[in-house]
Amino acid sequence: MSIIEWIYSAALDIAGYRLSLMEVIGIGFGLASAVGGMLRRVWAWPVGIVGNAILFLVYIGITLDVHDKAPLFGQSARQIFFIATSLFGWWRWQRIKAHQGDDDGRAITPRWAKGAERLGLALTLVIGIVVVQQVFAALGAGWPAPRWYYWADAWIFMGSLLATYAMARGWNEFWLIWIGVDLVGVPLLWHSGYLPTALLYALYAIFVGYGFLVWRRATRTESPDHEPEASTRTSAN
């Protein structure tokens, strides 16, 4: 048995379901990152990146012939984009926190996206889903997948990507986008055999609702962020 096969084979048998330890670890990092995001801590981003890397290996495992679950190319691909977007969020939150000089540990003050920003999110979501589902359909699922499968996977892919970007920008809307992702993600993951991740999405729905209330309250009570470039332009004028 190779090292890769050993890593993938590590699992627990619970009620007839083979629970991958890699999947559990990846989920744990993802949950920790979500908590850090709600608390607006910079460490949420690197923790999330580790979880993304682990879950990428879990979802793409079918191509390595190490497990027999349905491959989720959308789930796999989005982990890569998560990492790229998370690097941006990590950089932005660190930058704002350093500029603000706050001692409370919070990196940003959330706000609602402006009209043009919301329109940009909506257009990107619609166009992205149309394009991405076609790409996924052309690649195939590795099994006789129905057409709705590709639309659902594309919805999860684009929604997750935009939610992560909106979180990096500090927009309250990112919680609402995650709710939309959860509504599709839970049935799809359950259908594809990733039961622990499906349950995590279900728990996320509750957590996301609470996180939304926390950020909305902060929007009302805290002073807005002032990014370094904005203050530089002001002083120059």
Q: Any alpha helices (H) in 105-221, and if so which ranges?
A: 115-139, 147-169, 173-192, 195-221
Under DSSP, is residue 11 helix (H, G, I), strand (E, B) or coil?
Answer: strand
Give the per-residue pLDDT at 187: 86
Give the per-residue pLDDT at 202: 84
The Cα 123–Cα 87 span in angstroms is: 24
Give the per-residue pLDDT at 237: 40
Give the per-residue pLDDT at 226: 57
pLDDT digits (tens, 9 = 90+) for 37-75: 999 999 999 999 999 888 887 777 655 555 455 555 656
Say if CB 108 and CB 60 are below 8 A apart.
Answer: no
Give the per-residue pLDDT at 102: 57
Say if CB 86 and CB 49 are below 8 A apart.
Answer: yes
The Cα 100–Cα 61 span in angstroms is: 43
What's the DSSP call for residue 19? E
What's the DSSP call for residue 207? H
What's the DSSP call for residue 62? G
pTM beyond 0.85: no
Q: Which amino acid is at 201?
A: Y
Give the per-residue pLDDT at 5: 61
Q: What is the CA radius of gyration of the chain?
A: 19
Give the per-residue pLDDT at 40: 93
Q: What does residue 28 show for φ and ψ, rounded to 5 degrees?
A: -60, -45
110: how many CB neighbours lie within 10 A of its CB?
25
The Cα 80–Cα 59 span in angstroms is: 12
User: Which residues in the chain come in under a pLDDT of 50?
Assistant: 67, 229-237
The Cα 14–Cα 201 span in angstroms is: 19
Give the per-residue pLDDT at 116: 96
